[in-house]
Amino acid sequence: MKYVFQFGIVRDHLPELLNGAWLTLRLSFGAFALGFVLAVVLAFLRGSGPRPVRLAVGGYVELVRNTPFLVQLFIIYFSLPELGIRMEATTAALIGMSLNFAGYATEILRSGIDAVPKPQIEAGHSLGFSRLEIFRHIIVFQALRTVYPALASQFVLLMLGSSIVAAISAEELTAVTNTLQSTTFRAFEFYFVATGMYLVMALGARAVLHAIYWVVFERGQPARGAWAR
């Protein structure tokens, strides 16, 4: 079938696409920050909390990791209002993405925590460190260094998975692309450009994460980490 490509139409709508991409970036980094902080807390509680707390955290992680992200979003955006909790689509998207990311990040951090050599933790105990102090001074840095590549991959998955929030009307890149292609009927051109934009964002994010790794974990550190060259 002869198809005349009309990328000029995409160029006319570039500001809207860039606005959508900007929201994608804000949602992704925001959810990463919130989810990461939550994951560190949960990972600590999972390892060092009282039994009911450990079970609760485990339950939360399994719930988030074994249900579809779209369903989680629908519950936050469509079902919570029935209980009186109403929020904007963008807020619901941020909360959904943060909670979802925290579920996966907790598991990733847990494996990093387990990888810290036990003798170091025993040394901490024998020096009179509290559990929180052991976590803060001995475990966190080494655990993060070990699992950083996994966390970085999870971040890229988070950013690409942000396209799902279009379903609850958050106007990020995929939502904007859907709207534009449905009004101009230029599906191929718009989806092609959107794919390119996601690619650039994901590769850019990876580069930024690499730089952060180098600054935090390698520069001035004697031991080698997971991404050491």
Q: How many CB atoms lie within 10 A of CB 220?
A: 7
In whole angstroms, what is the distance from residue 96 CA to residue 90 CA?
10
Binding range to another protein, per CB under 8 A, among 38-46, 154-162, 165-173, 213-221: 165-173
The owner of tokens 């779209």 is 70
Residue 82 vs 119, nearer CB to another protein: 82
Q: In sequence order, which residues have a C-beta less than 8 Å from that of residue 92 and are 6 or more positions away?
A: 73, 76, 77, 168, 170
Calpha distance 30→135 (Å, rounded) = 25
Q: Under rule CB under 8 A, which residues in 87-126 are in contact with another protein?
A: 89
**Region for 218 from its dihedrals, namely left if φ exceeds 0, alpha if ψ lies in -120 to 50, beta otherwise:** alpha
Q: Is 85 in the site for another protein (CB under 8 A)?
A: no
| 22 binds another protein per the rule CB under 8 A | no
Residue 86 binds to another protein (criterion: CB under 8 A): yes
Compute the least distance from the CB of residue 16 to another protein, in Å: 12
- Asked whether the beta carbons of 64 and 72 are under 8 A apart, the reply is yes
**How many residues belong to the site for another protein (CB under 8 A)?**
23
Task: Identify whether the C-beta of residue 201 lies closer than 8 Å to the C-beta of residue 159.
Answer: yes
Considering the complex, what minimum distance in angstroms separates the CB of residue 182 from another protein?
3
Stretch of 8-16, 29-37, 80-88, 150-158 contacting another protein, by CB under 8 A: 80-88
- Shortest distance, CB of residue 25 to another protein, whole angstroms? 20
Determine the distance from the C-alpha atom of residue 101 to the mean position of all C-alpha atoms in its chain, rounded to a whole number. Answer: 5
Which of residues 46, 178, 194, 205 is near another protein by CB under 8 A? 178
* 77 in contact with another protein (CB under 8 A): yes
Binding site for another protein (CB under 8 A): 1-2, 74, 77-79, 81-82, 86, 89, 166-169, 171, 175, 178-179, 181-183, 185, 187
